[in-house]
Amino acid sequence: MNYQQYYPLDVVNGEGTRCTLFVSGCEHFCKGCHNPATWDASKGQPFDQAMEDRILKDLGDPRIHRDGLSLSGGDPLFPENLAAILHLVKRVKEELPDKDIWLWTGYTLEDLTPQQKRIIEFVDVLIDGKYQDSKRDLSLAWRGSSNQRVIRLKQDDLERLQ
């Protein structure tokens, strides 16, 4: 997996203060996308162990409080990203269980593959759905078009999708 950008301190992409990772790779190609530079999975920098360790260190830094991790892109649930994202979210929940995880995807919750659902088990807030330029709404928090949903996940939601 590659990534385009990492913000060790972010107050825009989710509630509170966060670490935010923008991954490379997306197959949705939404017209009007605000980040088309992230579509190509081969672009950006390799997401390696050092970057994963940095994210965990930043999240756990007692000098600067962070509420959690935000994953965007591109699309964290793009097929080539699944293994690295699963490893990252599992590690965050194992080592820093008080931190929440937000994830943006162009896929909808109901249409996720079994591999994508494995990741969602570790996610607290899912923003799903393709950006639709015809439904653009700048007044919405954390999303660009009215068809996209902010879903606060509970175990019941995940069991319903099994």
Is the pLDDT at 126 greater than 60? The verdict is yes
Task: Name which residue leads in pLDDT, 151 or 30.
Answer: 151
What is the CB neighbour count within 10 angstroms for residue 39? 19
Rounded mean pLDDT, 128-153: 88
Q: What's residue 161's pLDDT? A: 59
3-state secondary structure of 13: coil
Average pLDDT of the residues of the chain: 92
Rounded mean pLDDT, 50-76: 97
Phi, psi (degrees; rounded to nearest 5) at 5: -155, 145
Share of the chain above pLDDT 90, in %: 75
Q: Which residue has the tokens 């079994």?
A: 114
Q: What's residue 157's pLDDT? A: 59
* pTM, two decimal places: 0.92
Q: What's residue 34's pLDDT? A: 78
13 Cβ contact partners less than 8 Å away, ≥ 6 residues apart: 7, 20, 70, 72, 102, 104, 142
How many residues can be counted in the chain? 162
Ordered domains of the chain (ranges, CATH): 2-160 (3.20.20.70)
Is the pLDDT at 8 greater than 60? The verdict is yes
Rounded mean pLDDT, 64-83: 97
Q: What's residue 116's pLDDT? A: 97
Q: What's residue 162's pLDDT? A: 55
Q: What's residue 122's pLDDT? A: 97
Task: Name which residue leads in pLDDT, 162 or 147.
Answer: 147
